[in-house]
Amino acid sequence: MSETVAVIPGDGIGHEVVPAALEVLDSVADVEFVHVEAGDAVAERTGDPLPAETLEAVTDADATLFGATGETSADVILPLRDAVDSFVNVRPARTYPGVDAVQPETDLVILRENTEGVYAGIENRLSADVSTLTRLVTQSASRRFAEFACEYVESNGLDGFTIAHKNNVMRVTDGLFVDTVREVAAERGVDADDAYMDAMATHLAMDPGQYDVIVCPNLAGDMLSDLAAGLVGGLGLLPSANVGAERGIFEPVHGCAPDIAGEGIANPTATILSAAMLLEFLGADAAARDVRTAVESTLADGPRTPDLGGTATTDEVAAAVVDRLPE
């Protein structure tokens, strides 16, 4: 394998967890890294949070490893996802032996529509008093997303998925989303259950074992995945993949955590697991498996960062994962 991977640490702890994940990636795969910048710090320096050379590196690369953004999220991660046409964000949440979890039976995947909804960026300040936000839902994007969800369920040997929505309030937009996803599921013979997203938040907190795959609009996916992170031990454990037809951007679900940035104690697990998803996307399934096994072993009896009750640094956790990779 000699693919090109664009690397964007972003801001805050992105500068700690991304180098940690690169150490692991470098140990299992022969990839060429192209290091570029985006986010608050580069915006402060140059006035542009997403320089043209970064965008070019991402669209030229086979895949991108991304860290985290802060204030400039809307100007960085949304256009980056758009640049690689990543129409779905895959966010798995599961528990690990040895890690305290609020809900130990959690083992689910959130598939988040990644291009529309309230994250489409259509906001206006109409007057000193009035601001508006347009929620965009199209049948074409919902259909493409639903086809991915059906393929995901089929290729993982699952029966179906649960659609999270609020079509009793957002009748037109979530009405179109739910009707389209249901239509595609029926065409494909995939079971499609559904639940109001607010009620689902309660079901998730109390009985997450009832869900395997949750299919949802953009904002709901962002919020429900943070909730799922809380069930399994925290945001330091949740990876994600922004998947497009040809390219992908792989990033931890967490943000730039300014409260601990610079201390070297951020949990690199989510970013290392995102790197495993990147490897899988590039077809390096065995390397991805090795990384996951090494992460699980480290979580079971290796060093831990303070968010998991330990005293280890980011680099110590990364080194332990590298040590547990096969020779």
92, 255, 268, 303: residue in contact with ligand GGG (rule CB under 6 A): 255
Q: Contact region for ligand GGG (CB under 6 A) — 43-51, 90-98, 191-199, 249-257? A: 249-257
Q: What is the 3-state secondary structure (H, E, C) of 250-310?
A: EEECCCCCCCCCCCCCCCCHHHHHHHHHHHHHCCCHHHHHHHHHHHHHHHHHCCCCHHHCC
Closest approach, Cβ 113 to ligand GGG, in A, equals 11
Residues 87 and 244: beta-carbon distance below 8 Å: yes
Residue 327 to residues 178, 183, 285, 297, 320, Cα–Cα distance (Å): 48, 48, 17, 15, 14
Contact between 174 and ligand GGG (CB under 6 A)? no
Q: Which of residues 52-71 bind ligand GGG (CB under 6 A)?
A: 68-69
Question: 251 or 296, CB closer to ligand GGG?
Answer: 251
Q: Contact region for ligand GGG (CB under 6 A) — 45-53, 248-256, 276-284, 307-315? A: 248-256
Q: What amino acid is encoded at 169 in this protein?
A: V
Residues 153 and 211: beta-carbon distance below 8 Å: no
Residue 177 to residues 114, 173, 188, 300, Cα–Cα distance (Å): 13, 6, 17, 40
Question: 150 or 260, CB closer to ligand GGG?
Answer: 260
Q: Contact region for ligand GGG (CB under 6 A) — 46-54, 120-128, 187-195, 250-258? A: 250-258
28, 77, 200, 318: residue in contact with ligand GGG (rule CB under 6 A): 77
Q: Where are the beta strands (DSSP E) in 166-275?
A: 191-196, 213-216, 239-243, 248-252
Contact between 222 and ligand GGG (CB under 6 A)? yes
Closest approach, Cβ 128 to ligand GGG, in A, equals 27
Question: 67 or 303, CB closer to ligand GGG?
Answer: 67
Question: 108 or 192, CB closer to ligand GGG?
Answer: 108
Closest approach, Cβ 109 to ligand GGG, in A, equals 16
Contact between 111 and ligand GGG (CB under 6 A)? no
User: In the 8-state DSSP scheme, what is residue 227?
Assistant: H
Q: Rounded CA gap, 9 and 13, in Å?
A: 8
Closest approach, Cβ 224 to ligand GGG, in A, equals 12
**Which residues are marked as active site?**
119, 166, 198, 222, 226
40, 75, 116, 251: residue in contact with ligand GGG (rule CB under 6 A): 251
Closest approach, Cβ 68 to ligand GGG, in A, equals 4
Q: Rounded CA gap, 158 and 140, in Å?
A: 25
SS3 14: helix
Closest approach, Cβ 73 to ligand GGG, in A, equals 4
| Number of residues binding to ligand GGG, judged by CB under 6 A | 9
Question: 180 or 218, CB closer to ligand GGG?
Answer: 218
> For strand 131-133 and strand 88-94, is the pairing parallel, antiparallel, or unpaired?
unpaired
Question: 17 or 192, CB closer to ligand GGG?
Answer: 17
Q: Rounded CA gap, 239 and 236, in Å?
A: 8
Contact between 73 and ligand GGG (CB under 6 A)? yes
Q: Rounded CA gap, 81 and 243, in Å?
A: 9
Backbone angle region of 85, left / alpha / beta, with phi > 0 → left and psi within -120 to 50 → alpha: left
Binding positions for ligand GGG, rule: CB under 6 A:
68-69, 73, 77, 222, 251-252, 254-255
